[in-house]
Structure 1
């Protein structure tokens, strides 16, 4: 059985007909990396937030299931769901400049979850935090653990967020565009680090990104979304060999060619957008 199995997950703005997720189904096997790709607003981050139970109050789930290690999260009372998620999942958030609490030192921001949720002793949690900073290649971890976020670079802060995500050896990590706020050189380092950590720990990874180059480097499976609808679900190798859906092909064609910087950028054709929007509209009619 898959470690994470999402079936027909739907969500909308509360009290309206504005749909955000349209019958999303996907699986993540233990130790597997699945990419969620699509344009901004496609629903990628919404899926991650639905898994973690951190959807905005204005959003409600209207159907489907999220089965994590055999348990449907949507059937659990909120306290039990939080305990299960806290013990088995973690998040690498999008922006390292805002994800850390600016008024607290780095150390407690890593260790509090280990102590408060998982019941570790403070001494064991402190020792684990130093090991993790070594693992993410941060020099002088003792000094860094006593530092405040504003005293560190963006790349160091992102490494700390990665260390924090892996701290309790979760079975699933959701990486929500973790390189977006970083410059290109640091992005490459962080991607390499996430891939190495994932392989070393054997953690399942749901990687949310709009960057197909990232998918090619770190993912084995890929789900392409448009308007909250999965339009293609395939292996990464198959996708880059030749996607089957017209929107997937157009999305791939629109990717800048770094080997040919003089090449013109190709927008997604209006006819393709119209066709995939027709798919979205047809889905909505079926579920009404």
Structure 2
């Protein structure tokens, strides 16, 4: 049984522009599923819909989000927040803006343990120290007392990873967690997330535009274009030969580390036009059926 099941999820802006078009996907316990596609494809919007933090102008118009057997849309706002807070965590893209600059690091890690699990503050602080050590932060006692601006970007991201795993969530949504880091630190953080996920057995929904990252961390992936899933498959099958023309074009456009001097291959206009026509036909069919 899937821990997270998204069924025919549609999200629109107040002006009617669709952001997600009947998205369906499942994430099983312990599974790592990647959401890939170009900027604006709707990858992060799926995570926001699950967490209940859609932008104010965006609205869920159709579909269901089932978390651990519960339909989140059937719950009261308070109960939904409690369920999500206890079972789901987020590793955001920019560690500097995600951490509160006016608070020391320690309380920002222990808050989840105190507020969600009801731990006493001393026990939460002891667990926070263990987590900071687990994410390979040296001198965790000093880091606990530091402010975010006193840490490097890589250390801030490690703090966010520790915070995400603090309450032992069953699902973590990682929204391009290495984008704001330099290449060397990206590799370290990616390995850390993978090791932590395997050690804790946590399901992971990993948002990225980097297919190189997908090959290293994910088991399954969903390819999005204009808010629609155009292909869903296993990672090995995808890299052996994706079935959708857009997926093949994305793979062909990925820089090859084995050929650093090779030219880049953009997604052909013909492929973009064909996928746009596919999306338009999908919208027309839903409109005719009276769906939103």
TM class by shorter chain equals: over 0.9
Alignment of 1:83-232 (within 5 A): 83-232=82-231
Measured after TM superposition, the shift of residue 17 of structure 1 is 2.1
Distance in 1 between residues matched to 2:184 and 2:100, nearest whole Å: 25
Distance in 2 between residues matched to 1:118 and 1:212, nearest whole Å: 36
Distance in 1 between residues matched to 2:223 and 2:186, nearest whole Å: 22
User: Aligned residue for 1:281?
Assistant: 280
- Which digits, 9 at most, give the CA deviation of each residue in 1:210-238, with x for residues without a partner? 00000000000000000000000000000
Distance in 2 between residues matched to 1:20 and 1:75, nearest whole Å: 22
2:222 alignment partner, SS class = strand
TM-score by length of 1: 0.99
2:262 alignment partner, SS class = coil
Measured after TM superposition, the shift of residue 259 of structure 1 is 1.2
Measured after TM superposition, the shift of residue 261 of structure 1 is 0.9
User: Aligned residue for 2:290?
Assistant: none
Measured after TM superposition, the shift of residue 145 of structure 1 is 0.2
Distance in 2 between residues matched to 1:53 and 1:102, nearest whole Å: 24
Query: Does the Cα contact within 8 Å between 2:116 and 2:167 map onto a contact in 1?
Result: no
Distance in 1 between residues matched to 2:276 and 2:257, nearest whole Å: 30
- Which digits, 9 at most, give the CA deviation of each residue in 1:37-71, with x for residues without a partner? 00000000000000000001100000000000000
User: Aligned residue for 1:6?
Assistant: 6
Measured after TM superposition, the shift of residue 282 of structure 1 is 1.1
- Structure 1: where are the runs of 5+ without partners? none
Distance in 2 between residues matched to 1:44 and 1:61, nearest whole Å: 15
Moved more, 119-128 or 203-212: 119-128
Query: Does the Cα contact within 8 Å between 2:10 and 2:20 map onto a contact in 1?
Result: yes
- Which digits, 9 at most, give the CA deviation of each residue in 1:158-213, with x for residues without a partner? 00000000001100000000000000000000000000000000000000000000
Distance in 2 between residues matched to 1:76 and 1:21, nearest whole Å: 22
1:178 alignment partner, SS class = coil
TM-score by length of 2: 0.97
Alignment of 1:27-42 (within 5 A): 27-42=26-41
Residue 46 (str. 1) matches residue 45 (str. 2): yes
Query: Does the Cα contact within 8 Å between 2:249 and 2:271 map onto a contact in 1?
Result: yes
Distance in 2 between residues matched to 1:17 and 1:96, nearest whole Å: 32
Moved more, 119-128 or 246-255: 119-128
Measured after TM superposition, the shift of residue 35 of structure 1 is 0.2
2:237 alignment partner, SS class = helix
Distance in 2 between residues matched to 1:116 and 1:245, nearest whole Å: 45
Query: Does the Cα contact within 8 Å between 2:36 and 2:222 map onto a contact in 1?
Result: yes
Measured after TM superposition, the shift of residue 90 of structure 1 is 0.1
Q: Matched residue pairs, number?
A: 287
Consecutive aligned runs of 4 or more in structure 1 exceeding 6 Å deviation: none
1:21 alignment partner, SS class = strand
Measured after TM superposition, the shift of residue 118 of structure 1 is 2.0
